[in-house]
């Protein structure tokens, strides 16, 4: 089986190299892309989509089919990680023990499964493997997280005018929440954004993107032809293209952010979701 | 104005150079993080302040906005960079890395 896999990958690689030799040279001014496509995008982007940033216009409008499936790929990456790692059943021999620390004295106690601690403020739950970071790291992460999230939203919303967009903004948003999980512990973020919520939001992100495309289809034009959304968004067709780009970028951002959190939670807790880095 | 900008820039470059030399010359992990955390922070603070001042040469509302963004960068670097160094040192202590003592070999 291994040998067959090796042969297939070597053959695919050889075919890729063989095909890559036929590409036009780097920055060849007479290649088809430079003679027809690039001038069209450079000259017409502003009047066709009213988006100053050509990269965003190409990514989310001219070539949005590709971007939609990129989002779907990211969603399926999160889904695959979930299916491979998430464990809900435990072995018979394994019993879950939880650890609590008495905040005043620092004494750690271990509670076996089936027993509970009487409710009191003096004990805090701790992980058995991971000691949370110190006060300095916690405080400055708490200080920085809102600004990082604000910047992530800015990157998503400002993708029309400056470098940025859904993917980058989504990664920044996801990283801010992962930073919270590293400086505190995994339970802190699961309390704020549960596993179910993450999974649902991840699918909703893809749904926003493909739903925008399907809405165009329902209104009688091609898939992802944003001009048709003008009556719904109450603007002229040009501005509708610009606004629809923002809508799909929001979808991409939601999908990317939640996929990052999903991957992190599954990987760091080995699919158990009880404790982790 | 130009003089202040120049002084700040050269002071920043001086600290950057010191940081680079320190990272190369210090004997172990913890002492190498010392210049990386302190001098790089101070160097970037000084150079960014110089940029923000230089940007205000032709005063306008746009230039003021850009300069205040630079000031924001300074604030965030000032908070984040020493914390990152602290976290790295913390990780080193947890992993059980012994600090270097005088007389030992460089590592």
Looking at A189-203, A227-241, B23-37, which range is the least confident one? A227-241
Shortest distance between the Cα of B52 and any Cα of chain A, in A, equals: 20
Shortest distance between the Cα of B91 and any Cα of chain A, in A, equals: 9
Shortest distance between the Cα of A140 and any Cα of chain B, in A, equals: 7
Cross-chain Cβ contact A144/B87 below 8 Å:
no
- For residue A38 the two structure tokens come to 């690039």
Residue B100 has pLDDT above 70, yes or no: yes
Q: Model confidence over B12-23: pLDDT tens digits?
A: 999 999 999 988
CA separation for the pair B48, B74 (Å, rounded): 7
CA separation for the pair A175, A145 (Å, rounded): 9
Looking at A112-126, A166-180, A216-230, A253-267, which range is the least confident one? A112-126
Shortest distance between the Cα of B63 and any Cα of chain A, in A, equals: 17
Cross-chain Cβ contact B80/A147 below 8 Å:
no
Domain range summary for chain A, segments of one domain joined by +: 53-90+133-268, 95-126
Predicted confidence band at A200 (pLDDT cuts at 50, 70, 90)?
very high
Q: Model confidence over A23-42: pLDDT tens digits?
A: 887 777 888 778 888 888 88
pLDDT of residue A121: 74
CA separation for the pair A198, A263 (Å, rounded): 10
- Sequence-distant (6+) residues with CB within 8 A of A231 are A219
- For residue A9 the two structure tokens come to 């990958």
Q: Model confidence over A153-196: pLDDT tens digits?
A: 999 988 888 888 889 999 999 999 998 888 887 888 888 888 88
Cross-chain Cβ contact A136/B79 below 8 Å:
no
CA separation for the pair A78, A203 (Å, rounded): 10
Backbone angles phi, psi at A124, to 5 degrees: -125, 145
CA separation for the pair A115, A124 (Å, rounded): 16
Q: Model confidence over A89-120: pLDDT tens digits?
A: 766 666 677 777 777 777 777 777 777 777 77
pLDDT of residue B25: 86
Cross-chain Cβ contact A140/B94 below 8 Å:
no
Cross-chain Cβ contact A133/B80 below 8 Å:
no
pLDDT of residue A94: 65
Pairing of strands A123-126, A108-111: unpaired
- For residue A44 the two structure tokens come to 């017409």
Q: Indicate whether this model's pTM tops 0.95.
A: no
> What DSSP line would sit under chain B, residue for residue?
-HHHHHHHHHHHHHHHHHHHHHHHHSSSHHHHHHHHHHHHHHHHHHHHHHHHHHHTSS--HHHHHHHHHHHHHHHHHHHHHHHHHHHHHHHHHHHTPPPP-TTSPP-
- Please report residues of A whose CB lies closer than 8 A to that of B88: none
Nearest to A223 by CA among A61, A53, A33, A29: A61
| Closest residue on chain B to A136 (Cα) | B83
Cross-chain Cβ contact B87/A133 below 8 Å:
yes
Cross-chain Cβ contact B87/A143 below 8 Å:
no
CA A55, distance to chain mean position in Å, is 20
Domain range summary for chain B, segments of one domain joined by +: 2-95
Shortest distance between the Cα of A137 and any Cα of chain B, in A, equals: 6
Nearest to A40 by CA among A51, A30, A50, A48: A48
- Sequence-distant (6+) residues with CB within 8 A of B90 are A133, A134, A137
Give the mutation candidate from A130, A133, A138, A148 for the B interface (greatest B CB count, under 10 A): A133
Q: Is B98 on the interface with A (CB under 8 A)?
A: no
Is residue A228 within 8 Å of residue A216, measured between CB atoms?
yes
Predicted confidence band at A241 (pLDDT cuts at 50, 70, 90)?
confident
> What DSSP line would sit under chain A, residue for residue?
-HHHHHHHHHHHHHHHHHHHTTSPPTT-TTSHIIIIIHHHHHHHHHHHH--S-HHHHIIIIITHHHHHHHHHHHHHHHHHHHHHH------SS----EEEEETTT--EEEE-TT--PPP-TTEEEE-SS-PPP-HHHHHHHHHHHHHHHHHHHHHHHTTTTSS--HHHHHHHHHHHHHHHHHHS-HHHHHHHS-HHHHHHHHHHHHHHHHHHHHHHHHTTS-TT-GGGGHHHHTS-HHHHHHHHHHHHHHHHHHHHHHHHHHHHHHHHTTT--S---
């Amino acid at each position: 089986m291994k040998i067959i896999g090796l042969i297939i990958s070597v053959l695919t690689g050889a075919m890729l190299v063989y095909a890559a030799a036929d590409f036009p040279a780097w920055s060849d001014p007479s290649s088809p892309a430079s003679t027809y496509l690039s001038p069209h995008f450079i000259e017409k982007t502003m009047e066709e989509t009213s988006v100053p940033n050509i990269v965003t216009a190409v990514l989310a409008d001219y070539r949005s089919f590709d971007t939609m499936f990129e989002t779907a790929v990211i969603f399926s990456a999160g889904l695959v990680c979930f299916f491979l790692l998430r464990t809900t059943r435990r072995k018979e021999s394994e019993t879950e023990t939880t650890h609590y620390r008495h905040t005043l004295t620092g004494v750690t106690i271990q509670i076996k499964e089936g027993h509970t601690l009487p409710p009191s403020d003096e004990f805090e739950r701790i992980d058995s493997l991971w000691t949370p970071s110190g006060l300095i790291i916690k405080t400055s992460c708490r200080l920085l997280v809102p600004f990082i999230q604000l910047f992530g939203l800015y990157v998503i919303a400002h993708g029309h005018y400056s470098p940025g967009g859904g993917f980058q903004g989504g990664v920044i948003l996801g990283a801010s929440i992962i930073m919270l999980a590293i400086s505190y512990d995994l339970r802190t973020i699961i309390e704020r954004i549960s596993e179910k919520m993450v999974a649902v939001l991840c699918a909703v992100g893809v749904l926003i993107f493909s739903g925008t495309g399907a809405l165009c289809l329902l209104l009688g034009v091609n898939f992802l032809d944003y001009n048709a959304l003008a009556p719904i968004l109450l603007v002229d067709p040009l501005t509708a293209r610009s606004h629809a780009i923002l809508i799909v970028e929001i979808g991409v951002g939601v999908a990317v952010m939640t996929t990052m959190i999903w991957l992190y939670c599954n990987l760091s807790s080995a699919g158990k979701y009880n404790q982790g880095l | 104005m130009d003089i202040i900008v120049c002084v700040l820039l050269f002071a920043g470059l001086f600290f950057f150079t010191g940081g680079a030399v320190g990272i190369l010359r210090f004997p172990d992990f913890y002492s190498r993080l010392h210049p990386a955390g302190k001098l790089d922070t101070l160097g970037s603070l000084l150079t960014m302040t110089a940029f923000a001042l230089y940007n205000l040469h032709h005063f306008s509302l746009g230039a003021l906005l850009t300069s205040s963004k630079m000031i924001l960068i300074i604030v965030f670097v000032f908070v984040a960079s020493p914390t990152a160094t602290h976290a790295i040192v913390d990780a080193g202590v947890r992993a059980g890395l012994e600090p270097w003592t005088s007389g030992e070999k460089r590592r």
